[in-house]
Structure 1
């Protein structure tokens, strides 16, 4: 054996060990590496357009749905969600030219407006244009939220002490007497906030409720009612006392939350804004979100002065958040849409809606919601019958 051979032998065991170790590592990697996920390349693409107040939540639930890799008829769906104000979405659908009206948002196969008031309005516009109705049916709900008169705690409790008051009693406070009629002249006039009824569901429902207040009924509103001078004068008097108009009631409540958070440090302007708002007509879930600090500029910080949800005695509108599968959906997309609807109505997703202050798809309120808004359960509420689309159209033209 040569010297060179002897010097090589001590390295041989180490070399063998290293090679063997690498082989073990490679084998272990092959054994424990993550299994490839399911092939979703052939999933049915489903585009959903949701009203803005729930669009973020529906998008989160769509991501949950996609990750679950549910199957229907051996297929899967890939759901994408975009948010758009209900009125603007209705206008784009009515125009028959979605891409021209909303070039930055894909045309939907499923539409989730805030209320069936919009599906009725779209149906009327389609009929007037001489085309097939895109929303001819009644549609299932994925959540519900009644329209309420939200008032700062002290003012709301004072109103409630008078017993059961109707829309005319509460909104009628906007006359010259204002809060003096309740023994608090230092609070000044009764002014309230609402949304533009052409674009916002709460604004549209609040305007219709004003007409119901004028005729002192909760159903069967007619075009003949709208033409009565006493009705017109009542509505004009109330609309003249709207101190805050907006296209989105969320913005209105964010302003109020900012003023509340500032308190005395906010100065005269902030205090004046807070004092000036006697009431705002909004969906119940927004009162919940406001009181829970979800609309605060400092997320999670609850307001010093919470709002209470006043339910007028003769009834209110229920905003039913319908699930509308549009005629643009092909057979595969219709099947995907039905599976996504079933998913949204399952208990885990309904709890996610409850976390934002919505009632469930059967109108049931959680205990947390009732406590937060100091409101009533569904059994204590009476709901208006929505007027015919022709009457809604006449209201908007008159407004």
Structure 2
């Protein structure tokens, strides 16, 4: 069964997933599971299977502009660049704009959890012994918030970020924390601009892809699991795994290709390793990230044309309410519906003030008319531009539609011209099996986001995943 590490730990905790062997990306998740269940004996054994360090991937020209490879870069360099009013212009590249980076959700992403822990270690100038007091210190949380100001948007999957970097190149984001194996895989595709691995000078973590035998396993299953682990740990198996970019956990196996500078990696790094803190600190760090993550200004743009009748609109309503429930109270949200013309049904405001109004507007949606999608997007931009009080927020439009514009009062080019000089990201959802995806994909492309597809059967999951972008 293939699941994200965080999602698997949640299902194991809830009893929904029963497994003999669990292999998350990092043994950190076993400690989280122990803390959250209060059961320190949830597993009978845990052994490393394959290794890969967490790195900050950065476009090679950008890293070189900062002094790499002669200078070892770290979190403090990123923070200085985020706070630099001139952005990349200070380093002779005004065309790159401001430094921006991406961040996945530590509730489900191992790389994100390791990144958050590394940020707290950097904030405290420690490499060992991170405590709950360290995490809760005002200076540490301020460090986290300041780094967050450079985030373009969040996400639920490192692979999605990697694919977007491959598709949109250097204009998408400047940097993104990922596993070294993901960076190697990226560079194997010979992109026009390669990524290089920054092993932060403050330190980083190994992801050990542990082979965890759960306590629910029978004696026979435990014996079979032990034999399987011996096979996976053998020199032959470890060497075979290396071709995919993993480093061997078996120290008898020498590191070789593709873990090399040819693919953006450095086999002699990392030099500084961070200690995995106690389980209570892991949970505290995860909670601190949630409390301090960058806030968002979001306009929900909802298609209420005639083609949305029946189950489609009813399931969409449930998905929209789920999306709202996952946002922070300090996030600011507006809602526009559109059929033949767009209408701002809920003006921009903090969810502490307008959550009930938004919920009421969602339940009162009625469908009729044509699809003035382009007009609605242009109106959403006006709402965002007029009501942005804090520029240090993620600014985004969530567009739910099943078709192309049929009102034809604005053109696609009008929309593109409106958004060319903004920092607003548009996340289009192609809703339904019969959704006309071509135009929605074009919108995602010029906004440098991704097209998300969903139907009545999975629209709740679509909105749950989308909520992790904010």
Distance 1:372 1:133 in 2: 44
- The Cα of 1:248 is off from its aligned counterpart by 1.0
- Structure of greater relative contact order (alpha carbons < 8 Å, 6+ residues apart): 1
Q: Which runs of 5+ in 1 are unaligned?
A: 1-81, 100-106, 261-273, 294-301
**Map of 2:339 onto structure 1:** none
1:353 aligns with 2:241: yes
1:86 aligns with 2:8: no
Please point out which of 174, 184, 187 is paired with 1:278.
174
Distance 1:206 1:183 in 2: 29
**1:395 to 1:187, Cα distance in 2 relative to 1, 3 A:** same
TM-score in terms of structure 2 length: 0.58
Contact (CA 8 Å) 1:194, 1:282: kept in 2 or not?
no
- The Cα of 1:383 is off from its aligned counterpart by 0.9
Match of 1:397, SS state, is helix
**Map of 1:28 onto structure 2:** none
- The Cα of 1:215 is off from its aligned counterpart by 1.3
Distance 1:171 1:209 in 2: 14
Please point out which of 142, 154, 179 is paired with 2:49.
142
TM-score in terms of structure 1 length: 0.67
Distance 2:194 2:34 in 1: 39
**1:196 to 1:144, Cα distance in 2 relative to 1, 3 A:** same
- The Cα of 1:184 is off from its aligned counterpart by 2.8
**1:279 to 1:391, Cα distance in 2 relative to 1, 3 A:** same
1:188 aligns with 2:84: no
- The Cα of 1:117 is off from its aligned counterpart by 1.0
1:228 aligns with 2:151: no
- Pair member with larger Rg: 1
- The Cα of 1:89 is off from its aligned counterpart by 0.6
User: Where in structure 1 do 4 or more consecutive aligned residues deviate above 6 Å?
Assistant: none
Contact (CA 8 Å) 2:184, 2:264: kept in 1 or not?
no
Distance 1:231 1:306 in 2: 33
1:334 aligns with 2:231: no
**Structure whose residues are more often helix by fraction:** 1
1:377 aligns with 2:267: yes
Please point out which of 261, 266, 280 is paired with 1:390.
280
Match of 2:37, SS state, is helix
**Map of 1:56 onto structure 2:** none
Question: Which residues of 2 match residues 22-171 of structure 1 at below 5 A?
Answer: 82-95=1-14, 97-98=15-16, 107-127=18-38, 131=39, 133-135=41-43, 139-159=46-66, 160-161=68-69, 163-171=71-79
**Map of 1:207 onto structure 2:** 116
Contact (CA 8 Å) 1:365, 1:378: kept in 2 or not?
no
**1:339 to 1:326, Cα distance in 2 relative to 1, 3 A:** same
Match of 1:190, SS state, is coil
Once superposed, what is the RMSD of the aligned Cα atoms? 1.9
Contact (CA 8 Å) 2:141, 2:288: kept in 1 or not?
no
